[in-house]
Amino acid sequence: MKAIGIVAEYNPFHNGHLHHLQETKNLTSLPVIAVMSGSFMQRGEPAFLDKWQRARLAVENGVDLVLELPTAFSLRSAEFFARGAVNIMEATGCITQLSCGVESKDIDFPQLAAVTASDSFTALLQSNLNAGFPYAAAYEGALQKLAGTSRLNTPNDILALEYCKALRLTNITPIFVERMHANYNDETITGSIASATAIRKAYLENNQDAIQRSVPKNTWQALAKKQCPDESLLWNLIAYNLRLLAPSQIAERCQCTEGLENLLKQAANCHTLSEAIALCSNKRYPATRIRRLFMQLLFQKERRYFEQEAPAYIRVLAFNDVGRQLLKQMKNTASLPIITKLGKHPASKQSSAFAEQLELDLAASDVLALLQKEAAPTGADFLNSPYYHKK
């Protein structure tokens, strides 16, 4: 039994996600396994709904099996986010294709991935960096010279390239589904398909009619519970860490480079998260990177927790009848331990990478619960079991 993979955040699950899912099934006639970010998103934000709710919504709308992408990879750059998700897909032993949602379907992403894997690209990229260009500009210049293409300037296209780079080391092949109508960062809702950014903005502005047009009914019902994270509390937690830690200690707890910890320290006196991000971000340090660093500080872990090489386990969040069959098969095909229910000592007799990644995931769930207005109890990951959607 083969399956196709989707990498997602579903923050929250909306009609655009439903279109991608349905097109993927129409094109392949394969069951879908989604590898989904857990409690914190790749752009450096806490999840709008917890991972258990988002996994349930995904399965109720047609995903067959939802697996968690550990926080050690969801709070990383696009390269490591993509690599972590692809590694989990490969480890299932049953995913043969990956469906990528893109803005530019005419781009040959596998060919670009081959260019970036070449020695000539590596040498040119390093030359640009040595010349003092920021990484993004150095990368863009090398890609333009060797592939004749300008910088990929939309998040989904950038991720599609990173997926294809990671897939070169596997037997999984990519397919591409074009996004409909709304771009990733659009902030307005004009029809039935909108970006997750616009939906979250409409939610905070209490624009209920616009949200109901752009999400499935079960997503709307989940959002109506009003459990989104409290950004004021989030900033207080971040500012507490910034005030408590010296710059050298900040560098030990997040992926700072080039003295960026000194810039983060200056943000300690800001009044809001948006003010702090505006202070620290520039052409060299984009806002998404600054947000990820702030989020990494919340967990008070050594930076090695965010520098893991590969996922150490496959964690199940939700499934339907087809997903249950896939799980049964994965008992024989999976190359990583499968977690369905956490025992009293879940990391016992496991590797240090397993223990650290799980420790970070548990902490992320607890922090998100604290940020929600109706917080779940601490240790909720030990209480929750995967959601089974029986048709």
Of 21-25, 76-80, 138-142, 367-371, the poorest mean pLDDT is in: 138-142
Average pLDDT, the chain: 92
For residue 384, being part of any structural domain is answered with yes
14 & 101 share domain: yes
Q: What is the DSSP string of 160-194?
A: HHHHHHHHTTSS-EEEEEEPPS--TT-----SS--
| pLDDT score recorded for residue 51 | 96
Statement to judge: residues 245 and 378 lie in one domain: no
Closest CA to 264 of 253, 282, 280: 280
Residues 296 and 318 in one domain: no
Number of domains forming the structure of the chain: 2
Same domain, 261 and 360: no
Q: How far is CA 75 from CA 43, 93, 136, in A?
A: 7, 25, 19
Q: Does residue 139 fall inside a structural domain? A: no
Query: 177-187 pLDDT, tens per residue?
Result: 998 765 555 66
| 89 and 31 in a common domain | yes
Q: What are phi and psi of 217, to 5 degrees?
A: -60, -40
- Give Cα 239 distance to the centre of its chain: 24
Q: Are residues 91 and 188 in the same domain?
A: yes
Select from 306, 341, 371 the last residue of a domain.
306
Residue 134 in domain: no
**Pair 279, 375 in one domain:** no
In a domain, residue 153? The reply is no
Residue span of the structural domain in which 209 resides: 3-106+177-227+308-389
On whether residue 250 sits in a domain, the answer given is yes
pLDDT tens for each residue of 219-253:
999 988 877 899 999 999 999 999 999 999 999 99
Read off the CATH number of the domain in which 11 is found.
Answer: 3.40.50.620
- Please count the CA atoms within 13 angstroms of the CA of 236 that sit on its side-chain side: 8
Same domain, 60 and 182: yes
pLDDT tens per residue, range 254-294 = 999 889 999 999 999 999 999 999 999 988 889 999 999 99
Are the CB atoms for 107 and 149 separated by under 8 Å?
Answer: yes
- Residue-wise pLDDT tens digits, 146-192: 887 755 778 889 899 999 999 999 999 999 999 876 555 566 787 78
Is residue 145 assigned to a domain? no
Among residues 306, 334, 360, the one where a domain terminates is: 306
Res. 17: pLDDT tops 90: yes
Q: How far apart are alpha carbons 298 and 255 in whole angstroms? A: 13
Of 96, 56, 66, the closest CA to residue 324 belongs to 66
Q: Does residue 193 belong to any structural domain of this protein?
A: yes
3-class SS letters over 91-106:
HHCCEEEEEEEECCCC
- Contact indicator for 20, 98 with CB cutoff of 8 Å: no
359 with 283, same domain: the answer is no
- As a whole number, mean pLDDT of residues 202-206 equals 87
**Preceding peptide of 31 cis, ω within 30°:** no
Same domain, 276 and 336: no
Residue 155 corresponds to which amino acid? P
If asked whether residues 13 and 93 sit together in one domain, one would say yes
Give dist(CA 51, CA 68) in Å, integer: 8
Q: Which of 275, 306, 337 is the last residue of a domain?
A: 306
Q: d(Cα 87, Cα 162) in Å, to the nearest integer?
A: 13
Note the pLDDT of residue 375. 65
pLDDT value, residue 143: 86
Confidence of residue 139 (pLDDT cuts 50, 70, 90): confident
Between 193 and 225, where is the model more confident?
Answer: 193
Q: Are residues 181 and 88 in the same domain?
A: yes
- 69 in a domain, yes or no? yes
